[in-house]
Amino acid sequence: MNHHGMRRRGRPRWHALVEWGIRLLAGAALLAIALIFVFIAREALPLLWSTDARAELRLADLFLPRQWPGYDAPVFVWQPVGPIPKYNLVPLIVGTFKITIMAMLISAPLAIACAVYLAHYSPPRLRELIKPTIEMLAGIPSVVLGFFALSLLADLVSASFGFEYRLNGVVAALALSVTIIPVIFTVSEDALRAVPAAMVEGARALGARRHQIALRVTLPAALPGVAAALVLGFGRAIGETMVVLMASGNAAVVELFDWSTSVRTMTATIAAELGEVPRGTTHWQVLFLVGILLFALTFALNLIAARVVERTRRRLGGEA
């Protein structure tokens, strides 16, 4: 105990300063997140008590179908500009998840396959070339990817599959997958290479082949990191704006199983409409409510990712 106390008393003062500096930066990050949420909530929550807002919009109309003039049945409609504003958020939520799921289905297998190849099959020189090239995709501005999808990819996809709409969810998902692949690939490849070499050497000593080592040893051992990579990619896809704004067609259509229709996402709606909406109106408040939904969704994804990673580590630790 005395020796431990002497070590603490003999610690340089700059260690304590660095420790307090790290704590200060962590607290500042948490404070910034809290202030962002407070700012968004301050603009959106008047929907709950404003008499004018409640007269124009019922909260149930945000999520439930309603019978509107000109429609034969209750429908989900996002049409904030018109004689009768319609603020249903379901088309935006459906469009967001449609594009995100399609982009994940495209990018996740490619990114994980590339990570496995570089970790087990690639020569060192080829790895030094491929890894930076894939990671450089993250540096491409999203507006450039959106312009590429709008001008070239849309025509190619329409000609190949005969889609009715030139700009649709498939085009946006293909462009969006380019932004997700570097995220999933980098984290997955680092997780695969962090697997202890003793596990690999033990599998080789037992006569396992290279593909058996990759699929039955290193990939299960790196599963927490791969799961975290997938959640990070999912969150990156949900938060993307310019690609989906330029390439999705921006039609608020609720088509759950038709992947070729034009869609409209929550982020694209905020980017396209917030700059033209009068401050303090119902439309303004609803857009900030969409921001709260995105904030809550991202927070929930982070919690789910932490829980999944922790349970996976415990399960793998128990099996070991």
Full DSSP string of 264-301: --HHHHHHHHGGGSPTTSHHHHHHHHHHHHHHHHHHHH
Is pTM beyond 0.85? Reply is no
* Sign of the alpha-carbon dihedral angle for 90, 275, 166, 156: negative
Query: Among residues 176, 222, 187, 218, which one has the least CA distance to residue 201?
Result: 218
Instruction: Annotate 38-77 with DSSP letters as a single string.
Output: HHHHHHHTHHHH-HHHHHH--GGGGTS-B--TT-SS-B--
**Strand partners of residue 78:** 87
Q: What's the rounded Cα separation, in Å, for the pair 232 and 226?
A: 10
Kindly report which listed range (73-82, 129-138, 170-179) carries the lowest average pLDDT score.
73-82
Task: Pick the closest to residue 109 from 188, 193, 169, 212 (CA basis).
Answer: 188
249 phi, psi to nearest 5 deg: 90, -25
Same domain, 28 and 143: no
* Residues 90, 11 share a domain: no
Averaged pLDDT, 105-111: 94
Residue with the two structure tokens 């003999």: 10
- Say yes or no: 182 and 298 in one domain: yes
Please compute the mean of the pLDDT values over residues 132-137 and round it to a whole number: 88
Please compute the mean of the pLDDT values over residues 7-32 and round it to a whole number: 81
Residue type, 58: R
Joined tokens for residue 17: 């300063």
Is the predicted pLDDT of residue 212 greater than 80, yes or no?
yes
Residues 25 and 129 in one domain: no
Q: How many domains does the chain have?
A: 2
Stretch 249-255: mean pLDDT:
82
Whether the per-residue pLDDT at 6 is higher than 50: the answer is no
**CA-based end-to-end distance of the chain:** 36
Residue 9 confidence (pLDDT): 57
What kind and span of H or E run contains 115?
Answer: helix 90-120
Average predicted confidence (pLDDT) for the chain? 84
Residues 248 and 169 in one domain: yes
Residues 29 and 123 both lie in one domain? no
Q: Which of 216, 225, 215 is nearest to 194 (CA)?
A: 225
Query: Do residues 83 and 38 share a domain?
Result: no
Residue 4 has pLDDT above 60, yes or no: no
Whether 86 maps to a domain, the answer reads yes
Please say whether the beta carbons of 146 and 247 come within 8 A: yes
Range of the domain at 28: 2-44
Dig out the tokens for 217 from the structure.
Answer: 């040893």
Residues 214 and 126 in one domain: yes
How far apart, in whole angstroms, are the C-alpha atoms of residue 51 and residue 205? 74
Residues 244 and 146 reside in one and the same domain: yes
Query: How many C-alpha atoms does 67 have within 13 Å on its Cβ side?
Result: 2
94 and 184 both lie in a single domain: yes
